[in-house]
Structures are given as C-alpha cells and as structure tokens.
Amino acid sequence: MTDLSMHLTTDEIELWAQGLLPAARALHLADCSLCRVEADRERKVILELVQLPHFAPTAGFADRVMAQVKVPTPSDSWKI
C-alpha cells in the first residue's frame, strides 16, 4: 500500500499527464502543491509534444526510392 503523502515519481507524473495514473495515487495532487506544480508543467510540455504533426516529403518521394530499390523476384528465393 502506498503512502498518500509520498511525492509522485517522475514516472507517475508522466502517467498522470497521460491520464493513466491510478486514482489512489492521483489523490496526492490534491494535497501537495509541489507535485501539482511539477505535474502541470510536465503535462503542458507533453501536450505540446503529442500534438506535433507529421511532415510529408516532397511529391514523388516513393518513386525516387523505388527507382533505387531492387525488388526481389519470387524466383530469387530459389537461387543458391
């Protein structure tokens, strides 16, 4: 059983920021301003990170790759 007064670990703060911390541990945040401030700061940066978009390479990227790839023919697997 975990002591409610124990500060959250870095891993627990990450879990909380992702909404995955068990409620019993999250209760600690109601009473500990130190952990609450730390958790809020952590959540802000994680939120910014998870919202980052993927970028696309320029059009024709796949064609440029495929031009330099040797697709094995099914018969290749029979060669010794």
Partner 1 sequence: MVAWAKQGHDAAFRELVRRYERPVFSLLYRMVRDRALAEDLAQETFIKVLNGIKSYRPEFKFSSWIFKIANNAAIDHLRRKSIDTLSLDGAPNAETPEQMRATSLQLGDRAESPLDEVENRELGKAIERAIGRLRPEYKSCILLRHVEGYSYEEIAETLDLPLGTVKTYIHRARNELRGYLEDRRD
In the complex, the smallest distance separating the C-beta of residue 1 from partner 1, rounded to whole angstroms, is 25
- Which of 20-28, 29-37, 66-74 is the region at the interface with partner 1 (rule: CB under 8 A)? 66-74
Q: What is the DSSP letter of 18?
A: T
In the shown chain, the binding pattern of residues 10 to 29 toward partner 1, with x for contact by CB under 8 A and - for none, equals xx------------------
Structure token digits, residue 70: 């040797």
Contacts of 2 (CB under 8 A, 6+ apart): 24, 25
Separation of alpha carbons 36 and 65, rounded Å: 49
Does position 74 interact with partner 1 (CB under 8 A)? The reply is yes
Does position 3 interact with partner 1 (CB under 8 A)? The reply is no
